[in-house]
Homo-oligomer: A and B are copies of this chain.
């Protein structure tokens, strides 16, 4: 172990590792933005994919989110290498339905932008559109038990952030008093 007296949290390093590991695991921010678009375009028809991606960036800048992303990817990686304790190895490797720590970490991401994101998280976690389908396709031999829930949670959080922002814009742009 390293010398505790020399430890200091390096936030930039945590943020960078989050971005890098998402990419290494096959997830581009644009693909998460596409999930956001799918969830939000019915409510905001003028929403652009660039705007969705900016909101994904904002979600990814939160340390609580970075911690969950890194921890989840770490467990996926170790499962792929067969390095976990036997019952945990089997449960994560096979995305066991009764193992819910992946959902637990995902919900910690959703919570950062509030409870209005729960519904969107559950919806895309069930339907698995776009990148989520690719992450769930176990044919390529990769394990993404945690990552697929985490990506869905980032998209749900970005959707909540957009809903809050759009409301603020709407209220600023109106001359009429709101009742």
Contacts and interface: CB of A to CB of B under 8 A. Distances in A.
Most buried by B among A1, A17, A138: A1
Most buried by B among A62, A70, A125: A70
B119 A67 contact: no
Nearest to A99: B67
Contacts of A163: 97-98
A14 B87 contact: yes
Interface in A109-143: 111-112, 114-116, 118-123, 125-127, 138, 141, 143
A91 B126 contact: no
Interface string A49-69: 000000000000011100110
Contact of A114 (B83, B90, B100): B100
Given A85-B17, A119-B125, A9 B108 contact: no
Given A63-B98, A107-B115, A171-B10, A17 B123 contact: no
Nearest to A66: B87
Q: Main SS of the interface on chain A?
A: helix
Contacts of A121: 118-119, 122
Contacts of A22: none
A104 B103 contact: no
Interface of A: 1-2, 4, 6-14, 17, 21, 62-64, 67-68, 70-71, 73-75, 77-78, 80, 82-88, 90-91, 93-94, 96-101, 103-108, 111-112, 114-116, 118-123, 125-127, 138, 141, 143, 163-164, 167-168, 170-171, 174, 178-179
Given A1-B93, A70-B85, 20 more contacts: A1-B143, A2-B93, A10-B90, A10-B178, A11-B171, A12-B171, A13-B87, A21-B85, A63-B114, A67-B98, A68-B101, A97-B163, A100-B108, A100-B115, A103-B118, A104-B104, A107-B115, A111-B112, A118-B122, A121-B122
